[in-house]
């Protein structure tokens, strides 16, 4: 078994810039995912009565399938 020791200089300023860069990307991803979230639409449909859903042609057990119908063929 080989062991290797690396003594790289620790540059705090560079590390902080890299951390800030990835934190910014993460914040952008969170905003994007929240914008694409369909949870509100699912909750609105679940709040409807079975009769209201039937008028829309949706069964209660197919609400999620209905909301994501443009993404998946199920």
Q: Which residue has better confidence, 24 or 57?
A: 57
- Check residue 5 and give its pLDDT: 59
pLDDT in tens, 26-52: 888 887 777 778 888 999 999 999 999
Is pLDDT above 90 for 69? Answer: no
Q: Across all residues in the chain, what is the average pLDDT?
A: 84
Question: Helix/strand/coil (H, E, C) string of the chain?
Answer: CCCCCCCCCCCHHHHHHHHHHHHHHHHHHHHHHHHHCCHHHHHHHHHCCHHHHHHHCCCHHHHHHHHCCCCCCC
């Amino acid at each position: 078994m080989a062991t290797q020791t690396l003594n790289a200089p620790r540059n705090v300023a560079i590390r902080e810039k890299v951390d800030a860069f990835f934190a910014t990307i993460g914040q952008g991803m969170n905003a994007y995912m929240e914008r694409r979230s369909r949870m509100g639409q699912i909750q609105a449909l679940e709040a409807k009565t079975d009769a209201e859903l039937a008028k829309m042609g949706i069964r209660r057990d197919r609400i999620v399938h209905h909301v994501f119908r443009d993404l998946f063929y199920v």
